[in-house]
A and B are shown apart, each in its own frame.
Chain A
Amino acid sequence: MNKICKFFLKLFGILFVVNAALFAVFFFDLDGKLLFNVVEPFLKKHYDNMDRKDTLKAPYEIDKFPKYDFNS
């Protein structure tokens, strides 16, 4: 019984700490601040430096596709 109580107390304690931590993240907008100041700039740098194909070189075959006219 003691062991069970201790287990539940421990569990409750962990949950309380996790809850409090999450609440702190929520209340002080730490998620937003992390995303804005760290994650987004990192990702933007990655996107800006990505190799991208030159879309102006994309082929344009004039007669590649038929006329989609199912009533003719």
Chain B
Amino acid sequence: MKDLKHLIYFENLLQEANNELVQQAKKDGLRAIGYTCYFMPEVLLDLPGCFSVRLRAPRCTSPDIATYYMSARVCHYARSLMERALEGGFNFLDAQMATETCTATCRFQEHLQQKHLDSVDDMRIIDNDDFFCEFSDVPFKNNEISYEHYATQLRAHVLQPLHDHFGIDISDEAIRKAVEQQNEVSRLINEIGDYRKLDNPTITGYEFHVIQLCSLVCPKYLILPYLRETAEEMKTREPDMKKEFRCKVVLAGSENDDPDFTKLVESCGARVVVDRYCYGAVESRQIIDLPDGVDPVYAIAKHYLHSSNCPRFMPQDEMRARKKRIAELAKEYHADGVIIASNKFCEYWSYERVIDTVILKRDFGLPVCSIEKEYINTASGQLRTRFQAFVESVEIKKIQEGK
């Protein structure tokens, strides 16, 4: 296929957290607000006057100093973020909006937090006098009480601090404007992503992953023009004459902000058509429905709890529905199989992977490849072998089924 015009540009943007567009936004006088988790609604961090940056630590393979602080037995992603922060890679941040949603990233963010306590010294990791880190409590349930609680938390621990520290406009009007911008990003990403539903998709999983990540790590108002152009470009993009893949897969699992992992999967003959993982578009690019007259913060709280399929949810109906959701995605995107990839030391997805591997295969008839991965995976020969074997098995199954 013809190269996407901005792909190299997007790839370059992903090389550093403090990329060209982030620097531009800072020059424009906007405040950079970092976050790690889907449960920190990015739309509230994109209010006029600030912009959201979902944190990554690209190319971090040896988080040595972070390992001293956090030990070698926690998620490599959290340690990599800590290492990058210690290196000064996040000094551009003006605030970190944190959630205690996953133990390891929570500890990382606690290290960033200036607590001014006698009991433990602040490390002053972010070298920025204006910097603060605020935590919000996130419910484990998707019910009415939880929507109300979450909305209260977002007002108290996200909006109010942004207003108090930086004078950010947190009025309903400002929020609605941010939602509009977010929805435009989502529409464009979905539009681009829908090409993966084609019999011969005109976008690879890798390309989509890169674009989706850019929408998370770059200021929305600056990345939008590029997204619009890309969406336009996609309308006329022709697929390869010969399919370059042998099967289509849903990629589900833990945090995954490494497009080279998707590239690795696709180099083994699979085409990733759905990204049902943390940092994926399945959840983060759903349109936020904000009818007139509705409290926008409540609506946003409800949206983020309702749209998430995070294994953190504990109610019985939620736990069971998650498996169905993956099967539905596979059907919607005509996927032949599912790759479930949990990060090493990610407890949520370690358990989820166990049950998904059995249920998706047994009850939904979907071939499943169940693997554990690191934060950075390009050099993994073992994974390559697993994916190649999986692709072959899916192919054989398709042949046997006469597809």
CB distance from A25 to the nearest CB of B (A): 45
Q: How far is the CA of A71 from the CA of B143 in the complex (A)?
A: 8
Q: Are A69 and B320 in contact (CB under 8 A)?
A: no
Question: Could you give, for residues 358-376 of chain B, a 1 whenever the CB lies within 8 Å of some chain A CB and a 0 otherwise?
Answer: 1100110000000000000
Q: Are B144 and A69 in contact (CB under 8 A)?
A: yes
Q: Are A65 and B143 in contact (CB under 8 A)?
A: no
Contacts of A71 in B (CB 8 A): 143-145
Q: Are A62 and B143 in contact (CB under 8 A)?
A: no
Q: Are B143 and A63 in contact (CB under 8 A)?
A: no
Given A56-B358, A60-B359: A67 and B143 interface contact (C-beta under 8 Å): yes
Determine the main DSSP class of B at the interface with A.
helix
Contacts of A61 in B (CB 8 A): 320
Q: Are A64 and B143 in contact (CB under 8 A)?
A: no
Given A60-B363, A62-B320, A62-B321: A69 and B143 interface contact (C-beta under 8 Å): yes
Q: Are A68 and B144 in contact (CB under 8 A)?
A: no
A contact residues, total (Cβ < 8 Å): 13
Query: Is residue B316 contacting chain A, with contact meaning CB distance below 8 A?
Result: yes
CB distance from A54 to the nearest CB of B (A): 11
B131-148, CB < 8 A from A: 143-145
Given A62-B321, A62-B324, A63-B320: A68 and B315 interface contact (C-beta under 8 Å): yes
Partner of A62, one of B144, B315, B323, B362: B323
Q: How far is the CA of A37 from the CA of B174 in the complex (A)?
A: 75
Query: Is residue B317 contacting chain A, with contact meaning CB distance below 8 A?
Result: yes
Contacts of A65 in B (CB 8 A): 316-317, 320
CB distance from B320 to the nearest CB of A (A): 5
B326-369, CB < 8 A from A: 355, 358-359, 362-363
Q: Are A72 and B363 in contact (CB under 8 A)?
A: no
10 contacts between A and B (CB under 8 A): A60-B320, A60-B363, A62-B320, A62-B363, A65-B316, A66-B317, A68-B315, A69-B143, A71-B145, A72-B144
Q: How far is the CA of A69 from the CA of B363 in the complex (A)?
A: 27
Contacts of A66 in B (CB 8 A): 317
Question: Could you give, for residues 34-65 of chain A, a 1 whenever the CB lies within 8 Å of some chain B CB and a 0 otherwise?
Answer: 00000000000000000000001000111111
B115-132, CB < 8 A from A: none
Q: How far is the CA of A19 from the CA of B363 in the complex (A)?
A: 63
CB distance from B331 to the nearest CB of A (A): 14
Q: How far is the CA of A1 from the CA of B321 in the complex (A)?
A: 84
Q: How far is the CA of A61 from the CA of B362 in the complex (A)?
A: 12
Q: Are B320 and A67 in contact (CB under 8 A)?
A: no
Contacts of B355 in A (CB 8 A): 60
Question: Could you give, for residues 303-325 of chain B, a 1 whenever the CB lies within 8 Å of some chain A CB and a 0 otherwise?
Answer: 00000000000011100110110
CB distance from A59 to the nearest CB of B (A): 9
Contacts of A62 in B (CB 8 A): 320-321, 323-324, 363
Contacts of A64 in B (CB 8 A): 320
Q: Are A67 and B317 in contact (CB under 8 A)?
A: yes
Q: How far is the CA of A63 from the CA of B317 in the complex (A)?
A: 7
Given A56-B358, A60-B359, A60-B363: A67 and B144 interface contact (C-beta under 8 Å): no
Q: How far is the CA of A66 from the CA of B320 in the complex (A)?
A: 11
Contacts of B317 in A (CB 8 A): 63, 65-68
Residue of A nearest to B142 (CB): A67
4 closest Cβ contacts across the A-B interface?
A69-B143, A71-B144, A67-B317, A62-B320
Contacts of A56 in B (CB 8 A): 358, 362
CB distance from A14 to the nearest CB of B (A): 59
Residue of A nearest to B141 (CB): A69
Q: Are B316 and A72 in contact (CB under 8 A)?
A: no
Q: Which among A60, A63, A64 has the greatest number of chain B C-beta atoms within 10 A?
A: A60
Q: Are A72 and B143 in contact (CB under 8 A)?
A: yes
Contacts of B363 in A (CB 8 A): 60, 62
